[in-house]
Amino acid sequence: MEFLDKLGIRENTQSLATTIAEEWWDYADARLYPDAKETLKQLKSMGLKIGIVTNGLQSDINEVLRKVGLNNFFDVAVGIDALGKTKPNKEIFLYALKKLGATPQKALFVGDQIETDYEGARKAGLRALLIDREGKTRKKVKKIRSLEEIATRLLR
């Protein structure tokens, strides 16, 4: 609602903000990578718990998952409103692990940003993989090019 205030709108702000949020998701283009759903199915079939840690809001996470048909794949989804912390703060990773009933030593985090995802997870004690689909990252980090590589990495 802060943006409405900056626009000088002072009346019916709650109603207007709700309408804007609903309309946004009607037009937002959220798409999956081709390897996402099959990889999640494979990981679930292995009996693994799967979670999301994101710098988005919980309401956004729920809407995106619904829109792409993944709302039943995750055991936990943690957004910034859960703790008021953002990645790379290690507390948000540890909070997700606690909700999963897992320890950092037994967890693997896969993300696409070196600082917020990879380094944040490592600082929390998790193993981490950077998904670098185009092979652009030159830093010395553990990388994968496809989500399909996750199961193989878990067996190592």
The predicted-structure confidence for 63-122, as pLDDT tens digits, reads as follows: 899 989 999 999 999 998 899 899 999 999 999 999 999 999 999 999 999 999 999 999
CA distance 2 to 80: 17
- pLDDT class for 27, splitting at 50, 70, 90? low
Cα–Cα nearest to 146, from 130, 123, 126, 127: 130
Structural domains in the chain, sorted by start:
1-30 (no CATH), 31-154 (3.40.50.1000)
CA distance 58 to 65: 11
pLDDT > 70: percent of the chain: 88
* Residue 71 φ/ψ, nearest 5 degrees: -65, -10
